[in-house]
Amino acid sequence: MGTSFSPSTQDVERYIRLRALGSDLLQRFANTVPRHVFIEIGKALGLLRNGVPELGSEHISNVLADCCMFEWLENGKNLVQRYAETHPPAPRRNIGCWGCNRQWWMPASIATIF
């Protein structure tokens, strides 16, 4: 089957850095969502208490944020689609797999991390 994964200290440090970058990006997205959208979607999800979203856990907060990003439509497009229209993709770099014949594309900004 596949190879076993034995993470090194560097792998863990890289993963922690990537998680932080991903969390920062999601927070930036969330900051662009108007309050009334959080309220409307919170209401649709049954998360409102006294007109305010009640987020009892990080999981529920993530569900609300995901719904706002992917289900809040303006002109038929969600937040991620609108963002993609105004932010061109990063240059991509073709990288190979050591010891195999596979090639894949990775954004150059991410490839420099590896």
The tens digit of pLDDT for each residue in 21-67 reads 878 888 888 888 898 998 898 899 888 888 887 877 778 888 888 88
Q: Bridge partners of 53? A: 48
pTM value surpassing 0.75: no
Contact of 67 with 41, CB cutoff 8 Å = yes
CA-wise closest residue to 79 among 70, 92, 88, 87:
70
Q: What residues does each domain of the chain span? A: 9-88
